[in-house]
A and B are shown apart, each in its own frame.
Chain A
Amino acid sequence: GQNIDQPTEMTATEGAIVQINCTYQTSGFNRLFWYQQHAGEAPTFLSYNVLDGLEEKGRFSSFLSRSKGYSYLLLKELQMKDSASYLCAVIYSGAGSYQLTFGKGTKLSVIP
């Protein structure tokens, strides 16, 4: 299998910083994506990582360590609208194609 593990739920305070971790099986790894999904809405692309290191996009940053099969999404200056599920997804290459596999998502609740 290609298990992708992330915490089920997290709670953080408005204005704070939160880190959402994701671990995955490394065999066949191509790249890793983070999506945001508000309740009842489509997953929205946030970022992707191909190489090791930190990718920064405004208040959101994503980190990747390919050797450890580990990534995290860092959200700074949390706002109430950041309350959503955050999906970690990995593209694995194999059988002649690239396939995207999702984790179960981390439900983030931002409280005042």
Chain B
Amino acid sequence: EAGVVQSPRYKIIEKKQPVAFWCNPISGHNTLYWYLQNLGQGPELLIRYENEEAVDDSQLPKDRFSAERLKGVDSTLKIQPAELGDSAVYLCASSLGFSNRVADTQYFGPGTRLTVL
């Protein structure tokens, strides 16, 4: 069974440019998560989707970050415009159940390493 798929794996952009990341979760998983991970730190949640609904986006910097999961399957995370401090690894994860009902294991994709110059 395929795991969580993310693309691109690496992205280098200049500041003020837009960038987008794509994630396809494990088939059948209802909940999808976007995390940010800085070097030497644990992942930090940006946004959580249950099907197509964003149920927790309290940590998402909404002035420049946006996300969508239109059909309740794959998702995109966008930054516009990117800033130097956005350089990090952006991880996508998915879990089977709905996070308001069960505390399921989250499975992670390989991440997108973003470098903003």
A-B contact count (CB 8 A): 54
Please tell me if the beta carbons of B56 and A102 are within 8 angstroms of each other in the complex: no
Give the distance in Å from the alpha carbon of A33 to the alpha carbon of B95 in the complex.
Answer: 14
B42's partner among A40, A45, A99, A104 (CB-CB below 8 A) is A104
Please tell me if the beta carbons of B108 and A105 are within 8 angstroms of each other in the complex: no
Please tell me if the beta carbons of B103 and A30 are within 8 angstroms of each other in the complex: yes
Residues of chain A in range 18-50 having any CB-CB distance to chain B below 8 Å: 30-31, 33, 35, 40-45, 48
Say what secondary structure dominates the interface of chain A: strand
Say what secondary structure dominates the interface of chain B: loop
**What is the CB-to-nearest-CB distance from B38 to chain A, in angstroms, rounded to a whole number?**
10
What chain A residues lie within 8 Å of B72 (beta carbons)? Answer: none
Confirm or deny: B2 has a beta carbon within 8 angstroms of a beta carbon on chain A.
Answer: no
Confirm or deny: A91 has a beta carbon within 8 angstroms of a beta carbon on chain B.
Answer: yes
What chain B residues lie within 8 Å of A41 (beta carbons)? Answer: 110-111
Q: B66-110 interface mask toward A, CB cutoff 8 Å, 1 = contact, 0 = none? A: 000000000000000000000000010000000110110111111
Decide: A100 near B106, CB < 8 A? Known: A42-B91, A87-B42.
yes
**What is the CB-to-nearest-CB distance from A4 to chain B, in angstroms, rounded to a whole number?**
8
Number of interface residues of A (CB under 8 A): 26
Decide: A31 near B103, CB < 8 A? Known: A42-B108, A43-B91.
yes
**What is the CB-to-nearest-CB distance from A109 to chain B, in angstroms, rounded to a whole number?**
14
Give the distance in Å from the alpha carbon of A53 to the alpha carbon of B13 in the complex.
Answer: 48
B43, B100, B106 interface centre (most CB from chain A within 10 Å):
B43
B42, B107, B109 interface centre (most CB from chain A within 10 Å):
B42
List 21 contacting pairs A-B, 8 Å CB cutoff, sorted by A. Answer: A33-B105, A33-B106, A35-B108, A40-B113, A43-B43, A43-B91, A45-B107, A87-B42, A89-B42, A91-B103, A97-B56, A97-B99, A98-B99, A98-B103, A99-B45, A99-B99, A102-B44, A103-B42, A104-B40, A104-B41, A105-B40
Binding site for A on B (CB under 8 A): 4, 40-45, 48, 55-56, 91, 99-100, 102-103, 105-111, 113
Binding site for B on A (CB under 8 A): 4, 8, 30-31, 33, 35, 40-45, 48, 87, 89, 91, 93, 96-100, 102-105
